[in-house]
Amino acid sequence: MRGEFVAMDMSEYKEFFNKMQQAAQRDLRKEFLRYLDGLGYEFLRIVQDEIIRRQVVDTRLLLHSFEKGDTSNLWTIKEAGLALEVGSLVDYAQYVNDGHWTNKKGQEGRFVPGYWQGDRFIYSPGAKTGMYLKQKWVEGAHYWDSAVRIMERVFPKLLERQMQEWLNNYFKAG
């Protein structure tokens, strides 16, 4: 029908919209950034747990690279877009997760300098002793993939709980 419209009285929502504006201008953005920071810590904890649970052979460099503040850690918050990027800068982290070949393509084997300490091989660049690695596939530990699946499973519950807390704190009646 032309020329006709429906008028709706939204005055009862005025207080709600005023509170929304106040919350956005005050602490809600800071709290959301704090929440993102907490999610980052939680995800790094899960990654570390998965590295330990999957018994990834490591000199602790990989494990420590999943701690905020470690020089090998990647931790970036893009505040305007409210995005958090976490990870490891350790060059072999992806190989340990995804799997890798022991040698370059076309290389049948290679000598790796070092020595054995019990059943553990210690890499030592200047050593005259070592071991010969034949070409083979080393299956990945998939610690990162597992941590992502765990986080995807728990994130909705964490976010729902936090959103309810924010609604209770910022938009309660009165």
Note the pLDDT tens digit of each residue in 28-39: 777 878 888 888
Radius of gyration of the chain (CA): 26
Range of the domain at 148: 14-170
Is the residue at 98 inside a domain? yes
Average pLDDT rounded to a whole number, residues 36-55:
89
| 128 or 12: which leads in pLDDT | 128
pLDDT tier for residue 27 given thresholds of 50, 70 and 90 = confident
Confirm whether 62 is domain-assigned: yes
Q: Is 3 among the domain residues?
A: no
**Average pLDDT taken over every residue of the chain:** 83
Number of domains in the chain: 1
Tell whether the model's pLDDT for residue 139 goes beyond 80.
yes
Instruction: Tell me what the mean pLDDT of segment 67-91 comes to.
Output: 78
